[in-house]
């Protein structure tokens, strides 16, 4: 269903520009009201959201609550802090500016475009919207057409609770994206793959539109010997196989100290059984692959590799069992692109230097995981690697901490959001300097003759 005819895109943007010009969104009370409306709308449609995600991804209800509907926490956080975030902040001035005062005013950007992916299709379109509303913008949302049921429910919720001149949804695929990208926006917030990210940035460049790119990549997970094995395997199993591995910050592959590899593999087998039973296809708690195309791509990874756990699949259900593979070579296709599915390769190391060198030889990942209690090792990995974020002794949980900016670096993205970072992403920081009239020193005015020694002194 296309809620908004594509031919109307220009008109929606024009209407939003006019609405923005009224100045209504600059009122912080208005923004708080809209955030409250959004929260209520989500609560009201909880069941429909659960059903949409079940239809798109066979997403278990509990996972929908903890990874999609939990976006409500972000709304509460924004409501709590918005008055403070939106206040102008005093900035210090140096002594030679003694007659001046300086302030930074956060101001909304205008009309923003938010393009979402299919893997957490509700949360990843609503979470940036919270930042856009909090910062006082109008917004157009383009959910992923691949998670079509969720796209529909997002469109229904927004159309029911918001004026399209303020927030509108445009449904559709590449064609809809392209139509939108041809227009000028004041910011584009994109979540998706690196290849499409480049297309978005090229389109934005034509209008000099700033972008936030929340991309993906291969997030490594280092496992040292100094760990609680039972907790480690459970946390890795959860982070890797939640949503059947279709998580941008899922551990993509394991880098395991050789000494603990066997115990780790035994532990993973045990925790997988604990989570999903003997036959995960029958588990109500295990998701499915989003589409035939992604299913085929993942099944191809399993050709000519050594499967040590799982490996079964069922094309009619787009089911792939939680799978662990060993003795993986860096040239295997599974190590050449982001897996984004329930396949976990294991690579062993004897010295941490090898693991660090491998990570540093590849594009910077979105997340890096380290399981180790060894403080020196933690320090070394933090110092010698670069990634969007790091989580030590756990997986994926970093995404739930509103005070931590979330985003990539290098190939894994540009910019960040969540909590205050979302507000900042959708705000312009307007610097305002004010002088007074009680004094007017003439050192900077022409004629300059004889003033150089004083200027040199001031600069020195
Ligand atoms: P995708 O890049 O294929 O699609 C994302 C969005 O872009 C969709 O709305 C789609 O309609 C649109 N799109 C696709 N092709 C386009 C084109 N040629 N021109 C314009 N728009 C186009 O991504 P996806 O498959 O939906 O999601 C998977 C990727 O997203 C993975 O790489 C994953 O790591 C990444 N991801 C990142 C985050 C994050 O927070 N950093 C979160 C989730 C997913």
> Are 75 and 173 members of one domain?
yes
> Are 145 and 71 members of one domain?
yes
Confirm whether 446 is domain-assigned: no
In this predicted structure, what is the pLDDT of residue 458?
Answer: 82
- Provide the whole-model pTM: 0.95
In the beta sheet, which residues pair with residue 323? 343
> Are 236 and 122 members of one domain?
no
In this predicted structure, what is the pLDDT of residue 5?
Answer: 61
> Are 211 and 138 members of one domain?
yes
pLDDT tens, position by position, 224-275: 999 999 999 999 999 999 999 999 999 999 999 999 999 999 999 999 999 9
- Percentage of the residues of the chain whose pLDDT score is greater than 90: 96
> Are 102 and 198 members of one domain?
yes
Verify whether ligand 1 is closer than 6 Å to residue 245 (CB atom): no
Alpha-helix runs per DSSP H in 208-260: 229-241
Which atom of ligand 1 lies closest to the CA of 199? Answer: 19
In this predicted structure, what is the pLDDT of residue 212?
Answer: 98
Strands, E assignment, 313-385 = 313-314, 319-320, 323-326, 343-349, 367-371
pLDDT tens, position by position, 93-113: 999 899 999 999 999 999 999
Confirm whether 117 is domain-assigned: yes
Mean pLDDT computed over every residue of the chain: 96
Confirm whether 451 is domain-assigned: no
Containing structural domain, residue 361: 220-407
Verify whether ligand 1 is closer than 6 Å to residue 388 (CB atom): no
pLDDT at position 19 over 80: yes
Confirm whether 311 is domain-assigned: yes
> Are 289 and 179 members of one domain?
no
State how far the alpha carbon of 99 is from the alpha carbons of 262, 283, 410, 443, in Å: 69, 70, 42, 14
Q: How far is the CA of 193 from the centre of ligand 1 (A)?
A: 4
What b/e string do you get for 393-432 counting C-beta neighbours within 10 Å, with b at 16 or more?
A: bbbbebbeebeebbbbbbbbbbbbbbbbbbbbbbbbeeee
> Are 225 and 130 members of one domain?
no
In the beta sheet, which residues pair with residue 343? 323
In the beta sheet, which residues pair with residue 191? 214
> Are 177 and 264 members of one domain?
no
Whether 391 sits among the annotated catalytic residues: the reply is no
Whether 221 sits among the annotated catalytic residues: the reply is no
Q: Residue 259's domain is classified under what CATH number? A: 3.40.309.10
225-230-234-240 Cα dihedral, nearest 10 degrees: 20
Which atom of ligand 1 lies closest to the CA of 366? Answer: 41
In this predicted structure, what is the pLDDT of residue 1?
Answer: 43
> Are 402 and 415 members of one domain?
no
In the structure, what pLDDT confidence band is assigned to residue 4 with cuts at 50, 70 and 90? low
Catalytic residue selected from 248, 338, 348, 391? 248
Question: What's the rounded Cα separation, in Å, for the pair 413 and 417?
Answer: 11
Q: Residue 107's domain is classified under what CATH number? A: 3.40.605.10
pLDDT at position 177 over 60: yes
- The number of distinct structural domains making up the chain is 2
Catalytic residue selected from 171, 214, 338, 348? 214
Confirm whether 439 is domain-assigned: no
Only one residue has tokens 């006082």, namely 136
> Are 88 and 151 members of one domain?
yes
User: Taking a C-beta distance cutoff of 8 angstroms, is the pair 147, 288 a contact?
Assistant: no
pLDDT at position 168 over 70: yes
Verify whether ligand 1 is closer than 6 Å to residue 118 (CB atom): yes
> Are 175 and 41 members of one domain?
yes
């Amino acid at each position: 269903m296309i809620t908004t005819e594509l031919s109307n895109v220009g008109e929606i943007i024009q209407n939003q520009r006019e609405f923005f010009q009224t100045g209504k969104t600059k009122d912080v009370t208005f923004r708080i009201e809209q955030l409250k409306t959004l929260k209520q709308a989500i609560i009201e449609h909880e069941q429909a959201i659960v059903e949409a995600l079940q239809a798109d991804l066979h997403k278990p209800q509990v996972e929908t609550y903890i990874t999609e509907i939990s976006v409500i926490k972000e709304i509460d956080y924004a409501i709590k802090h918005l008055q403070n975030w939106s206040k102008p902040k005093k900035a210090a001035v140096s002594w030679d500016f003694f007659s001046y005062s300086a302030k930074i005013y956060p101001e909304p950007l205008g009309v923003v475009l938010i393009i979402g992916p299919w893997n957490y299709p509700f949360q990843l379109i609503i979470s940036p919207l919270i930042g856009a509303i909090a910062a006082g913008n109008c917004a157009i949302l383009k959910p992923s057409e691949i998670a079509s049921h969720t796209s529909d429910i997002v469109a229904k919720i927004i159309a029911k609770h918001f004026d399209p001149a303020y927030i509108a949804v445009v449904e559709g695929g590449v064609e809809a994206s392209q139509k939108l990208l041809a227009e000028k926006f004041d910011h584009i917030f994109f979540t998706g793959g690196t290849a499409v990210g480049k297309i978005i940035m090229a389109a934005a460049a034509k209008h000099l539109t700033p972008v936030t790119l929340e991309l993906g990549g291969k997030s490594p997970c280092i496992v040292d010997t100094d760990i609680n094995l039972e907790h480690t395997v459970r946390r890795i199993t959860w982070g890797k196989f939640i949503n059947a591995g279709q998580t941008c910050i899922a551990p993509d592959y394991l880098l395991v100290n050789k000494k603990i590899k066997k115990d780790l593999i035994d532990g993973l087998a045990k925790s997988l059984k604990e989570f999903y039973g003997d036959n995960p296809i029958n588990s109500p708690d295990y998701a499915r692959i989003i589409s035939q195309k992604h299913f085929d791509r993942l099944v191809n990874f399993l050709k000519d590799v050594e499967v040590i756990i799982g490996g079964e699949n069922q094309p009619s259900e787009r089911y792939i069992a939680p799978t662990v593979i060993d003795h993986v070579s860096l040239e295997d296709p599974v190590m050449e692109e982001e897996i984004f599915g329930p396949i976990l390769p294991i690579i062993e190391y004897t010295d941490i230097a090898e693991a660090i060198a491998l990570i540093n030889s590849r594009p910077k990942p979105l997340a890096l995981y380290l399981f180790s209690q060894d403080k020196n090792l933690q320090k070394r990995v933090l110092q010698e690697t670069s990634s969007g974020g790091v989580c030590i002794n756990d997986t994926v949980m970093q995404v739930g901490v509103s005070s931590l900016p979330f985003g990539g670096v290098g190939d894994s993205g540009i910019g960040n959001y969540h909590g205050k970072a979302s507000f900042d992403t959708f705000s312009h920081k307007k610097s305002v300097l004010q002088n007074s009239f009680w004094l007017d020193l003439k050192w900077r005015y022409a004629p300059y003759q004889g003033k150089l020694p004083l200027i040199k002194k001031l600069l020195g």
